[in-house]
Amino acid sequence: MLFRAYAKINLILSVSAPKPADSDKPGFHEIASWFACIDLHDELTITPLAAGAPNEFNVRWSADAPRGTAIDWPAEKDLAFRAHRLLESHIGKSLPARLDLVKRIPVGGGLGGGSSDAAAALVGLNQTFGLGLSLEQLASLGSQLGSDVPYFVCDAGESAAPAIVRGFGQKIERMSRIESGVLLVVPPFGCPTGPVYKAYDSLLADRAINEPTRREAIANETLLRKRLGKVRASIEKELGFPSDLLFNDLGLAAYRVEPRLGRLATNLGNALREPVHVTGSGSCLFVICPKGKVEAMTQKARATVAAVEPGSVCIATQLL
């Protein structure tokens, strides 16, 4: 059985200051974010094996992957593999199967590929073996693997609906879907999440990010909802998608960690005359495209990124 694992972008991402040393999660950050899937996906094929057979796991890059990297991590660290083991542990019996993962979603791009793969494994194994676990149960299991995994848990054959995700990823409020073209830019390098968050903490300490809400104990959900309401109102009135209302608190930190990303975003914005956004902690960038212009903007973007950062890939995609 074949299951798709879709990538996501953070249309809005608000990040709290690190939790204090005497808290339950010292040093960790809460978020308030508007997640939405895009039409870029990995593919997971699950093949049941004979009773008693050892599990098998294979991963490779698709020939059309925008940025393939060395698959140098052991199977035990792959989130899809770990999801298989976690599910077996939860139900108390083996689920002999071969998992073949074909990847397109770049590693270190802020697109949630590993988390989406894990969710696909949980949902796919549940369906393949007729376990009867609810989506809520699968999401709870997924939270043990990573904070983004619960968002991706949805009915097999579908992409996860957009959502406001809060806290440490455990609070998920599903939203209605929005149609829009998206230009996705995949640089030839990734952004390591840990250093980006450390840079963000430094910016907070130096007051380079000076809004008081950025130093509060919780992420700025109020600002997110206010912006989200304006976006929806503009779309409902057929005024277009006001991309200038989107924001990512980690954007400046990502540019500090990887200056090439900042140069790429600046040149791309100047060429397209549209806001350019970072997803997650980087390194992928995206542009919300006016109706009917995604293909033309993608073509224009390719010439720009080729001159600024050779090896970058521009993909015309859409919100799901």
Residues designated catalytic: 8, 148
- Cis bond before residue 94 (omega within 30° of 0): no
Confirm if 121 and 44 have CB atoms less than 8 A apart: yes
Those residues whose C-beta lies under 8 Å from the C-beta of residue 105, and which sit 6 or more positions away, are 5, 7, 40, 41, 42, 111, 112, 113, 116
Task: Classify residue 282 by burial, with Cβ atoms within 10 Å: 0-12, 13-18, 19+.
Answer: buried
Closest to 43 (Cα-Cα) out of 125, 89, 103: 103
How many other C-beta atoms are found inside a 10 Å radius of the C-beta of residue 128?
A: 16
Pair 277, 246: CB distance under 8 Å: yes
> Which residue stretches of the chain are H helix?
79-91, 113-128, 135-142, 149-152, 193-205, 221-236, 251-257, 259-272, 294-308
Helix or strand or coil: residue 128?
helix
How does 237-271 read in b/e, with b if 16+ C-beta sit within 10 Å? Answer: eeeebebebbbbbbbbbbbbbbeebbebbebbbeb
C-alpha R_g of the chain:
20
